[in-house]
Amino acid sequence: MIGNGIGGFSAGSTIRRLDDQCEVTLIASEAHPLYSACVLPDYISGKISRKQVFVKSRSDYRNLGIRAFWGLEAKEIDPNTKKIFLDDGRDIDFDRLILATGSEALFFGELKKGLFKLKTLKDADEIKRQRGKKAVVIGAGPIGVEIGIALLKRGYEVTIVEMMDKVLPLGLDTKGAEKVKSMLEERGIEVLLNERSEKVLGSDRVEGLVTSKRQIDCDTLLWAVGMRPRVELAREAGIVLGERGGIRVNSHMETNIEGIYACGDCVESNDMLTGEPYPNLFWHNANRQGMVAGRNCLGKTTDYPGSQNILNVDVFGNHVAGFGFTEAALHRFENVKGMAGKLSDLSIIEKEKNGSYYRLVIVGDRCMGGQFINMSQNIGMLWSLMIRRRGMKELTNLLGNRELLCRKPWFYPIKPFFA
């Protein structure tokens, strides 16, 4: 395995669970055991300690019998002779290879003092060491919002600059996004929308940011504009990439070269809702992909059902959740085969009550997305119905019929959503 994220680790542990004879080697470019990148904002804000970020320890690898090369980068793969060349000059033979190289944070321009991105633990450590007063976060996606909140808790004055017209642009529609924006502004985070970041000021350390509308002085600048699959290694080995920049794999997570599998953030897998390839860079997808890749590696044919996206941000105690697509995002999938129908059939169920809010996006007969603020308990059922592509008419019939509902009592909790 190349890569020590959740994809690589879950592939390795799956292989070990099924077969205790074969040799499993893992090349980890970071010298840390498996840790969770998703909780790094909590680590920056001081909510959890550095020790709590780690999911596994090195002894877990030893107990599993996985030989790990810590802190070494794979430089080159030769698929013909089945060899991997490491950056310290050694080479390793393989029969089967699993690429789990993950993703890296996007940024533009050069990194200088006071300018950060957040993807690895090292980035988080650097942000923690920084002592500044005024921070600007570029990008108001889930990572941008979480870092903004974390920095505010560290005593910074925070401004979030977003190019699009709302916060959490891929997860929420206008009304929900406005609620989140007012929650942020209430606690003192300045949110600037519709502004493109143009230039970073300062020669060796950050002094400010020029956007399309104004100039902001700051001493700390964070890029949170998204992630990009790390595919240089795969590209040089001759592995075919998809049109969205990830490694293209079939349903067994195998690449175009036999015996080389890929999983995790570096692949683009089919989305469960549309059936189109889409880079859904989430922990649970990488976890499942790793399991599937591990099983197929050993010749146990398993299909990967597809990826799902999820939004889960805690904004000052308000739980913002979502899944599927927003109304705005659906327009990109107008002519996709897996789409539930024409967009002219779009209907919205929206309700606001006692500080909680929900919005369901329904196309034709199928639910294609949902957004929820301060409702976490009963939405799992909706999610599971959505990814199973269940018809909404059938569902509302069921919810209206008392006798049918008595036989399927687990549908009761979602009744209020359709009332």
The three-point CA angle 300-86-120 to 5° equals 80
List, in order, residues 6 or more apart from 407 with CB less than 8 Å away. Answer: none
Q: Which is nearer to another protein, 110 or 403 (CB)?
A: 403
Q: Which of 19, 32, 38, 134 binds another protein (CB under 8 A)?
A: 38
Which residue do the tokens 């034709």 mark?
364
Q: Does residue 221 contact residue 138 with C-beta atoms inside 8 Å?
A: yes
Interface characters, 265-284, with another protein (x: CB under 8 A): ------------------xx
The secondary element (H helix, E strand) that includes residue 322 is: strand 318-324
Alpha-helical (H) ranges within 320-373 are 327-330
CA atoms of 242 and 129, how far apart (whole Å)? 38
What's the token pair of residue 234? 């795969």
CB of 39 to another protein, least distance (A): 5
Footprint on residues 330-349 left by another protein (CB under 8 A): none
Q: Which of 287, 296, 309, 326 binds another protein (CB under 8 A)?
A: 287
Q: Which is nearer to another protein, 219 or 271 (CB)?
A: 271
User: Interface with another protein includes 47 (CB under 8 A)?
Assistant: yes
Neighbouring C-alpha atoms within 13 Å toward the C-beta of 220: 24
Q: Does residue 272 contact residue 308 with C-beta atoms inside 8 Å?
A: yes
Q: Which of 55, 111, 240, 298 binds another protein (CB under 8 A)?
A: 55
What are the CA-CA distances from residue 113 to residues 117, 119, 127, 148, 296 (Å)? Answer: 12, 17, 11, 19, 45
Q: Which of 163, 381, 391, 398 binds another protein (CB under 8 A)?
A: 381
Q: Which is nearer to another protein, 107 or 323 (CB)?
A: 323
Q: Does residue 87 contact residue 75 with C-beta atoms inside 8 Å?
A: yes
Residues, the chain: 419
The three-point CA angle 293-298-299 to 5° equals 95
Q: Which of 21, 129, 337, 410 binds another protein (CB under 8 A)?
A: 410
Which residue do the tokens 């399991």 mark?
291
Footprint on residues 206-265 left by another protein (CB under 8 A): none
Neighbouring C-alpha atoms within 13 Å toward the C-beta of 388: 10
Q: Which is nearer to another protein, 38 or 257 (CB)?
A: 38
Element counts in the chain: helices (H) and strands (E): 14, 25
List, in order, residues 6 or more apart from 326 with CB less than 8 Å away. Answer: 170, 171, 172, 173, 361, 369, 371
User: Interface with another protein includes 398 (CB under 8 A)?
Assistant: no
Task: Give the range of 77-85, 127-135, 269-277, 374-382 binding another protein by CB under 8 A.
Answer: 374-382
List, in order, residues 6 or more apart from 187 with CB less than 8 Å away. Answer: 152, 316
CB of 16 to another protein, least distance (A): 15
Q: Which of 174, 384, 396, 397 binds another protein (CB under 8 A)?
A: 384
Q: Which is nearer to another protein, 13 or 211 (CB)?
A: 13
CB of 44 to another protein, least distance (A): 13
Q: Which is nearer to another protein, 59 or 377 (CB)?
A: 377
User: Interface with another protein includes 16 (CB under 8 A)?
Assistant: no
CB of 373 to another protein, least distance (A): 13
SS3 state at 194 = coil
User: Interface with another protein includes 378 (CB under 8 A)?
Assistant: yes
CB of 15 to another protein, least distance (A): 17
Task: Give the range of 165-173, 227-235, 297-305, 317-325 binding another protein by CB under 8 A.
Answer: 317-325
Task: Give the range of 52-60, 200-208, 211-219, 263-271 binding another protein by CB under 8 A.
Answer: 52-60
DSSP structure string for 153-173: HTT-EEEEE-SSSSSSTTT--
User: Interface with another protein includes 193 (CB under 8 A)?
Assistant: no
User: Interface with another protein includes 174 (CB under 8 A)?
Assistant: no
Q: Which is nearer to another protein, 204 or 406 (CB)?
A: 406
| End-to-end Cα, the chain, rounded Å | 50
Q: Which of 16, 32, 56, 153 binds another protein (CB under 8 A)?
A: 56
By CB under 8 A, name the binding residues for another protein: 36, 38-39, 42, 47-48, 52, 55-56, 283-284, 287-288, 310, 312, 314, 319, 321, 323, 376-381, 383-385, 405-406, 409-410, 412-413
